[in-house]
Homo-oligomer: A and B are copies of this chain.
């Protein structure tokens, strides 16, 4: 058994069982891949793939077991290489981040810009997706970091570091009824209007709906979208009252007024997660620290030494996490309608 053979098997499994495509991605010839896989099968004495005629049609159950272990093996091989590169102060490297729209659009740009200036040799890639997709991507090793909110049960194997907290904010057209309340809106106020907000995560409990339910109210959600830009568009069209993350609110949002929603919904924590077994490159520590100031390398290493997520949470329990988003700045003060 050789590491190349495992790499080849994995590449084939990850490229739709197409040996030609796998060979291209591996920068080698297709007979090389074909032969190595066959040799591994011979050595192990089992078929990793099912074949019809000459083309691969599926992975056998044992093949799947082998693939899973190959992932672990190659991951650790990469860890060894990262250790070496860290020591050599090698500045080249890769950092791929999986995240949701809100982070990618409103929070990360500043961090990434600054990061790229310092680490020009680090190839940075951003993958946007739903929580479910991110979970798959991080599991398969496609991405190093996940930056997301909620979903504790979706990412059970990740070490999650709390980064900051945020409230929601209410967006309405300038002449909307809610702007004439003379005070910040309540849930009762909101329940009287059609609402436009985020798609509810498939698995996570919807803190949005339950906030209303707790007061015996049923929100009239007329439209949901994955990102705040779409929501804003429909609010401008007068489809309803928008409820978005405070970070997504921009002073330059013309045609919209932001109203404070702090306290109406539970605060949300954005965290950064990665696999516990991962060896982090130095620039990864720096990225984390740039993204969340309190997560300096020393603190992150301490979190890595814990044995469970509960211990990590305890590490940060006594710290007041920073708040993000301008939600508080555009509050219509009592008697001062926007």
A residues apposed to B, CB below 8 Å: 1-3, 44-46, 62, 65-66, 69-70, 72-73, 76-77, 79-81, 83-84, 87-88, 279
- B44 near A66 (CB under 8 angstroms)? no
- A81 to B65: give the CA distance in the assembly, Å: 11
Residues of B contacting A72 in the complex (Cβ-Cβ under 8 angstroms)? 72-73, 76
A89 CB to nearest B CB, Å: 10
A314 CB to nearest B CB, Å: 18
A144 CB to nearest B CB, Å: 17
Residues of B contacting A62 in the complex (Cβ-Cβ under 8 angstroms)? 83-84, 87
- A80 near B87 (CB under 8 angstroms)? no
- A69 near B65 (CB under 8 angstroms)? no
Residues of B contacting A66 in the complex (Cβ-Cβ under 8 angstroms)? 80, 83
- B69 near A79 (CB under 8 angstroms)? yes
Residues of B contacting A87 in the complex (Cβ-Cβ under 8 angstroms)? 45-46, 62
* Minimum CB distance partner of A84 in chain B: B44
Residues of B contacting A76 in the complex (Cβ-Cβ under 8 angstroms)? 69, 72-73
A9 CB to nearest B CB, Å: 10
Instruction: Pick from A2, A73, A79, A279 the residue with the most CB of B within 10 Å.
Output: A73
A135 CB to nearest B CB, Å: 16
Q: How many copies does the complex hold?
A: 2
Residues of B contacting A44 in the complex (Cβ-Cβ under 8 angstroms)? 80-81, 83-84
Residues of B contacting A46 in the complex (Cβ-Cβ under 8 angstroms)? 83-84, 87-88
- A77 near B73 (CB under 8 angstroms)? yes
* Minimum CB distance partner of A308 in chain B: B308
Can you list the 5 inter-chain pairs with the closest CB atoms, starting with the nearest?
A44-B84, A69-B76, A73-B76, A73-B73, A45-B88
Q: A46-B87, A69-B79 are in contact. Are A2 and B3 (CB under 8 A)?
A: yes
The one of B69, B80, B279 in contact with A80, judged by C-beta atoms closer than 8 angstroms, is B69
- A69 to B82: give the CA distance in the assembly, Å: 12
- A84 near B45 (CB under 8 angstroms)? yes
Residues of B contacting A70 in the complex (Cβ-Cβ under 8 angstroms)? 80
- A46 to B86: give the CA distance in the assembly, Å: 10
Residues of B contacting A77 in the complex (Cβ-Cβ under 8 angstroms)? 1, 69, 73
The one of B1, B79, B88 in contact with A3, judged by C-beta atoms closer than 8 angstroms, is B1
Extra contacts besides A1-B3, A3-B3, A73-B76 (11): CB < 8 Å? A2-B2, A2-B3, A45-B84, A45-B87, A46-B87, A46-B88, A65-B83, A69-B76, A70-B80, A73-B73, A73-B77
